[in-house]
Amino acid sequence: MLGWSSLFAVVLLATLPGTGEARQLSLAPGGWVEVSAGTGWSGLSCRACRTTLRRGPELRVGMGRYVRSGLRFGAEVGGWTSWGEDVRDLVGHVHLVGGARPGDGRLGLRGGIGIGHYRALHPSDGDDIRSTGLGFQLGLDAYLPLGDRIVVSPQAGVSVTSFGELRNGDATVSKRAGFQLLRVGVAIFRR
């Protein structure tokens, strides 16, 4: 439901009347802050794992600085969760991020590198499965300016984390594990 509501809100906001000049986004050097909400599908992969993608809500917060027109860098913190089959899945990440919007186009590219953490809690049997590792993210976003400082930005992307050990309490389940998060969402971006 969140996905359809988000899409409807973006379309509604993008069609609000306004002058062309008022809807141009200033991307000159300066600070930015972004809050993004959406839905994501995440899964764990390792030799002993049954990989299935689970759907759940996702939230991200980022801030940083435009170093020149259309090129920004910063940091982002995000989290995703899902509950099903007596398992609570949690994914979190901290990334250094960058984004570029070529020319005056409405589409932008984003990427980042950082640390991700996966945790699965099984209340019925007491298992606490977790993995932490290095990861990256790649994605696309669209810019729908609401003025010279506010943007609604539909986004789609993937975060992948690997090189981590999968543990259940103090026991090692797998020496190598990875997890991925596919996401779609909408961000509110302020300059």
Report pTM. Answer: 0.78
Amino acid 86: pLDDT: 79
Amino acid 36: pLDDT: 96
Q: What is the mean predicted confidence (pLDDT) over 144-148?
A: 86
pLDDT digits 0-9 by tens, 94-143 = 999 999 988 767 899 999 999 999 888 887 777 888 888 999 999 999 98
**Domain range annotation of the chain:** 2-12+31-190
Q: Which residue would you say has higher pLDDT here, 46 or 20? A: 46
Q: Across the chain, what does the average pLDDT equal?
A: 83
pLDDT digits 0-9 by tens, 2-35 = 554 554 444 444 444 444 443 455 556 789 999 9
Strand residues in 29-170 grouped as ranges (E):
30-46, 54-68, 71-84, 87-100, 107-122, 127-142, 144-145, 150-168
Dihedral of the alpha carbons of 135, 138, 143, 149, in degrees to the nearest 10? 30
> Do 40 and 58 form a contact (C-beta atoms < 8 A)?
yes
Q: What is the mean predicted confidence (pLDDT) over 157-183?
A: 87
Lowest-confidence segment of 39-48, 59-68, 179-188 by average pLDDT: 39-48
Q: Which residue would you say has higher pLDDT here, 53 or 28? A: 53
Amino acid 14: pLDDT: 47
* DSSP codes joined into one string, 51-88: ---EEEEEEEEEEEEEEETTEEEEEEEEEEEEEETTEE
State which fold the 2-12+31-190 domain adopts: Porin (2.40.160)
Looking at residue 93, its amino acid is: H
- Give the residue from 42, 57, 43 showing the smallest Cα distance to 2: 57
Amino acid 157: pLDDT: 96
Amino acid 26: pLDDT: 56
The 3-state DSSP class for residue 13 equals: helix
